[in-house]
Chains A and B, each alone.
Chain A
């Protein structure tokens, strides 16, 4: 029995990286969005430039779910290396699309799926003589054939091609031709459409289709960042590249073309965070973007920034760890490394955006928080939201909003006789005042150091003043608790004693999992944590439930540990639900794990691997 579904299925393209398939695949996804049907797309790619397997998944979802679903309904198998595994990954009743130019023995196929052969290479060899053209147009011909099979509006794809090659007239016609070749071949030789179809809908609205790294970089622009120091590291690199491209357009001085920002590629992560600390000490808003290995290298400076109270924004695009780990796979496994980064007693502020929309708003907010609190702030993205396009609410900005530079004493303040003590708690919130270097000829200068100091920034080895100062830092951390974004709580339809806590990129899958659970008769209240230190509302949520599932994408239940460490919560009350294989967590996994746990069965730790 073949799967029949309108606007609700998963297509997976299996390709070889470096073959030019990425842009054609993305065109396919964009065409569906243009037809008003939401998609969720994911790149599953190797840490390599050319020749290794790569997959691109398009989840067509009328309901707009942005998490990975799990399972594949149609595989477009263009990579002989992974053919067998790709065929095996198809759901029973699903479809296989393959290049039938070379005969493949029937033993390679399955009886319970529909096999669709299109002689793509043969068609290309007939139509084109140039080998590069054969390769590139093969991808477009493939999209044309798929459009016929899925009953897509081919004019939408033509329009997208025209937009993409707007500046290269010749290429438009050539691409349109390739698209038509594929489309008409399928129409004439295959039974179209198959059981999976895309039908026009009005479910996309004003949503935008964007990656989290791009969005976070735009957040940094709107947050007033002027200094970015960085070291290339997957999967954070595209954030800095996006900052470069946004600032080129948005931050040039009109008269001169000079830059209102400095983008510095450092020699390593130690230098990049050092530059951020130096720039922020000197009154510029500064950030770096990195991933786990970079966080490990930045530890010493993070401790200095914490103790000397220097703002810094660090975008951590988490990848699979430990060590070099999985550079091109996703995890949420750096929570403990960031929360307590560096030796001695240290604690840091973290923000957990769930998608590109929050990556933008938290990206901007992080700079206000860092200045307000005079401390490092981590924006904890991960590869899943950082490097994948997602369909999210459009970015918004309140034009009446002003950058909050925090407690900075000006020339006028100093001249007016205000007492300046760099680490003096004047306002009772644990946050002292600072001055920028060069502010006043005779007042306001101080010495910044990572060695022990008193409230007037003087070096001291006296226990009392040293302890007083670090206790004040705890008070400041308590103030942070009230400033970070609070949790988003989604109550179940009926009162329940079961709760779920999750954060960051688990959000989209969790939304869908909550629906699946409700359908299965398991009612859960859901609390999405958005910041650390935890708001009171998070602790109240735990207090209001008998059992709380903590869903995370790491092995060691790191968010659960933070809740236990910081708030003394009984471990028995917090049940871990963990996924850490590399692909993003899915709604099916979460729902199955929680259902099993509620029924008293052991946690289902695994599902069929996605790749």
Chain B
């Protein structure tokens, strides 16, 4: 209910970022999701990451499909244009928007029903196409708005709130994203803000399709015993491969790392992140190894989280298409309309 505006006054000593904005400036309207919903933590992590990156909110375009997760863009970055499109079709709308103006930051928010079922094709093809975007799936394994049906990411054997057992194989969107050529692939947990905020930050900095599967328990329909997407279950089975520390000129990192446990990764804008490895010998640049790793851990019932794969300088859809650097929506008549002289030549060639 976007008409419930929050009061804008704040304490004079509240923290301000480099462009003079406070955390409050990154908020949207009040969430109408259930109290305790994991999705609100994702919204909060997005706001936090944008604040830390000193992003002007209006330079972000936030797009979503349909479902609980897709409602969330209303609840963050009120200064940004938003587009709540149709079920499962956010990726195509985002792709078109990106084609029109390559200079904005595109944040797509979707859910497991939206991306793994009705929109599975669009999810796949937007990633294949190399669209420069952050694609976050708030994954709770269940249809919330229609009250508790299994989704396609529900694990086989998982139990619904009403006691039904899921017999269908699950889709692992991280495995799919790796196979489809996503150049930034991460998984996180809405209950782990320390891990999620730097991942979103790095995903925004990344140029190319950045996919984050964020397990986000549904407190209303999927947080019970027998669920594999409940807070308790995820906490007990979470296996992080790394944690991220950002290195900027303003805030150099002084932490010392034990030999062999640190991997430095340069980002598109020249800054870098340092990955503190937890999984021994895990190389974030090895796509094939990453695919094997998540499969073998998954087989043991573990949920691998962290930055799972990253490709350096991958290029994006605009590079592939060879489009001009000026955003297409800013080209004027002179650049677009060839005029009568060109038409005369065409007419002559058709005689």
Binding site for B on A (CB under 8 A): 33, 206-210, 218, 221-222, 224, 226-227, 229, 250-251, 253, 256-264, 266-268, 270-284, 286, 300-301, 304, 394-399, 402-403, 435-442, 445-451, 458-460
* A283 pairs with B329, CB closer than 8 A: yes
In the assembled complex, the CB of B236 is this many whole angstroms from the nearest CB of chain A, namely 38
- Out of A206, A267, A437, A445, which one reaches B78, CB within 8 Å? A445
* CA A400 to CA B351, docked complex, whole Å: 26
- Out of B92, B103, B351, which one reaches A438, CB within 8 Å? B103
Residues of A within 8 A of B58 (CB): 437-442, 445
In the assembled complex, the CB of B282 is this many whole angstroms from the nearest CB of chain A, namely 33
* A458 pairs with B338, CB closer than 8 A: no
- Out of B56, B100, B340, which one reaches A283, CB within 8 Å? B100
- Can you list 16 A-B pairs with a CB-CB distance of less than 8 A? A258-B322, A258-B324, A264-B317, A274-B93, A274-B122, A277-B96, A278-B94, A278-B95, A279-B328, A279-B329, A394-B343, A395-B347, A437-B61, A446-B81, A449-B84, A459-B1
Interface residue? B288 (CB, 8 A): no
Query: A208-B350, A266-B92, A304-B86 given as contacts; is B338 within 8 A of A222 (CB)?
Result: yes
* A224 pairs with B343, CB closer than 8 A: no
* B323 pairs with A261, CB closer than 8 A: yes
In the assembled complex, the CB of B243 is this many whole angstroms from the nearest CB of chain A, namely 33
Query: A250-B338, A260-B331, A267-B122 given as contacts; is B101 within 8 A of A278 (CB)?
Result: no
* CA A438 to CA B1, docked complex, whole Å: 23
Q: Which residue of chain B is the closest to A402 with respect to CB atoms?
A: B333
* CA A158 to CA B116, docked complex, whole Å: 61
* A442 pairs with B79, CB closer than 8 A: yes
Q: Which residue of chain B is the closest to A284 with respect to CB atoms?
A: B100
* B333 pairs with A274, CB closer than 8 A: no
* CA A222 to CA B341, docked complex, whole Å: 12
* B89 pairs with A286, CB closer than 8 A: no
In the assembled complex, the CB of A462 is this many whole angstroms from the nearest CB of chain B, namely 10
Interface residue? B268 (CB, 8 A): no
- Out of B81, B91, B93, B343, which one reaches A277, CB within 8 Å? B93
Interface residue? B160 (CB, 8 A): no
* CA A447 to CA B28, docked complex, whole Å: 11
In the assembled complex, the CB of A360 is this many whole angstroms from the nearest CB of chain B, namely 9
Query: A260-B331, A279-B100, A448-B81 given as contacts; is B61 within 8 A of A397 (CB)?
Result: no
* CA A445 to CA B74, docked complex, whole Å: 12
* CA A279 to CA B106, docked complex, whole Å: 13
* B101 pairs with A437, CB closer than 8 A: yes
* CA A459 to CA B97, docked complex, whole Å: 22
Query: A437-B81, A441-B58 given as contacts; is B338 within 8 A of A226 (CB)?
Result: no
Residues of B within 8 A of A281 (CB): 83, 93, 96-97, 100
What are the interface flags for B100-121 relative to A under an 8 Å C-beta threshold, 1 for contact and 0 otherwise? 1101100000000000000001
In the assembled complex, the CB of A129 is this many whole angstroms from the nearest CB of chain B, namely 36
Residues of A within 8 A of B100 (CB): 226-227, 278-284, 286
* A282 pairs with B329, CB closer than 8 A: yes
* CA A270 to CA B80, docked complex, whole Å: 26
Residues of A within 8 A of B280 (CB): none
* A282 pairs with B96, CB closer than 8 A: yes
- Out of B56, B82, B92, B331, which one reaches A270, CB within 8 Å? B92
* CA A460 to CA B1, docked complex, whole Å: 8
* A278 pairs with B93, CB closer than 8 A: yes
* CA A396 to CA B344, docked complex, whole Å: 8
* B81 pairs with A274, CB closer than 8 A: no
Interface residue? B299 (CB, 8 A): no
* CA A221 to CA B337, docked complex, whole Å: 7
Residues of A within 8 A of B317 (CB): 264
* A448 pairs with B84, CB closer than 8 A: yes
* B97 pairs with A279, CB closer than 8 A: yes
Residues of B within 8 A of A283 (CB): 100-101, 329
* B103 pairs with A286, CB closer than 8 A: no
In the assembled complex, the CB of B63 is this many whole angstroms from the nearest CB of chain A, namely 8
In the assembled complex, the CB of A497 is this many whole angstroms from the nearest CB of chain B, namely 42
* CA A332 to CA B2, docked complex, whole Å: 45
Known A278-B95, A459-B1; further 10 A-B contacts with Cβ < 8 A: A222-B337, A259-B321, A270-B92, A271-B92, A279-B99, A281-B96, A403-B333, A438-B61, A439-B58, A460-B3
Residues of A within 8 A of B350 (CB): 208-210, 394
* CA A515 to CA B92, docked complex, whole Å: 50
* B125 pairs with A438, CB closer than 8 A: no
Residues of B within 8 A of A280 (CB): 96, 100
* B351 pairs with A279, CB closer than 8 A: no
Residues of B within 8 A of A448 (CB): 81-85
In the assembled complex, the CB of A123 is this many whole angstroms from the nearest CB of chain B, namely 33
* B323 pairs with A441, CB closer than 8 A: no
Q: Which residue of chain A is the closest to B128 with respect to CB atoms?
A: A267
Query: A258-B323, A402-B333, A440-B58 given as contacts; is B99 within 8 A of A396 (CB)?
Result: no
* CA A441 to CA B121, docked complex, whole Å: 35
* A271 pairs with B125, CB closer than 8 A: yes
Residues of B within 8 A of A435 (CB): 81
In the assembled complex, the CB of A108 is this many whole angstroms from the nearest CB of chain B, namely 40
**Of B2, B74, B98, which is in contact with the most chain A CB atoms at under 10 Å from its CB?**
B2
Interface residue? B249 (CB, 8 A): no
Residues of B within 8 A of A33 (CB): 351
* A397 pairs with B340, CB closer than 8 A: yes
* CA A269 to CA B329, docked complex, whole Å: 23
Sorted nearest first, the 3 A-B pairs with minimum C-beta distance are: A278-B96, A274-B92, A275-B96
Interface residue? B258 (CB, 8 A): no
In the assembled complex, the CB of B133 is this many whole angstroms from the nearest CB of chain A, namely 11
Residues of A within 8 A of B3 (CB): 458-460
Query: A260-B336, A281-B83, A450-B85 given as contacts; is B122 within 8 A of A227 (CB)?
Result: no
Chain B, 217-242, CB within 8 A of any chain A CB: none
* A451 pairs with B84, CB closer than 8 A: yes
- Out of A224, A229, A458, which one reaches B337, CB within 8 Å? A224
Chain B, 43-74, CB within 8 A of any chain A CB: 56-59, 61, 63, 73-74
In the assembled complex, the CB of A303 is this many whole angstroms from the nearest CB of chain B, namely 9
Interface residue? B342 (CB, 8 A): yes
Interface residue? B146 (CB, 8 A): no
Interface residue? B256 (CB, 8 A): no
* B335 pairs with A260, CB closer than 8 A: yes
**Of B97, B101, B333, B347, which is in contact with the most chain A CB atoms at under 10 Å from its CB?**
B97
* A208 pairs with B121, CB closer than 8 A: no
In the assembled complex, the CB of A222 is this many whole angstroms from the nearest CB of chain B, namely 6
Residues of A within 8 A of B342 (CB): 250
In the assembled complex, the CB of A276 is this many whole angstroms from the nearest CB of chain B, namely 6
Residues of A within 8 A of B83 (CB): 278, 281, 447-449
Residues of A within 8 A of B324 (CB): 253, 256, 258-260
Residues of A within 8 A of B260 (CB): none
Interface residue? B251 (CB, 8 A): no
Query: A209-B351, A267-B125 given as contacts; is B2 within 8 A of A458 (CB)?
Result: yes
Interface residue? B35 (CB, 8 A): no
Residues of A within 8 A of B59 (CB): 438
* A438 pairs with B99, CB closer than 8 A: no
* A226 pairs with B336, CB closer than 8 A: yes
Residues of A within 8 A of B82 (CB): 445-448
Interface residue? B339 (CB, 8 A): yes
* A268 pairs with B343, CB closer than 8 A: no
* CA A292 to CA B168, docked complex, whole Å: 36
* CA A448 to CA B81, docked complex, whole Å: 8
* CA A436 to CA B340, docked complex, whole Å: 30
Residues of B within 8 A of A253 (CB): 324, 335
Interface residue? B346 (CB, 8 A): yes
Residues of B within 8 A of A251 (CB): 335-336
* CA A275 to CA B3, docked complex, whole Å: 29
* CA A95 to CA B317, docked complex, whole Å: 57
* B125 pairs with A447, CB closer than 8 A: no
Interface residue? B325 (CB, 8 A): yes
Residues of A within 8 A of B91 (CB): 271, 274
Chain B, 115-153, CB within 8 A of any chain A CB: 121-122, 124-125, 129
- Out of B80, B89, B321, B337, which one reaches A403, CB within 8 Å? B337
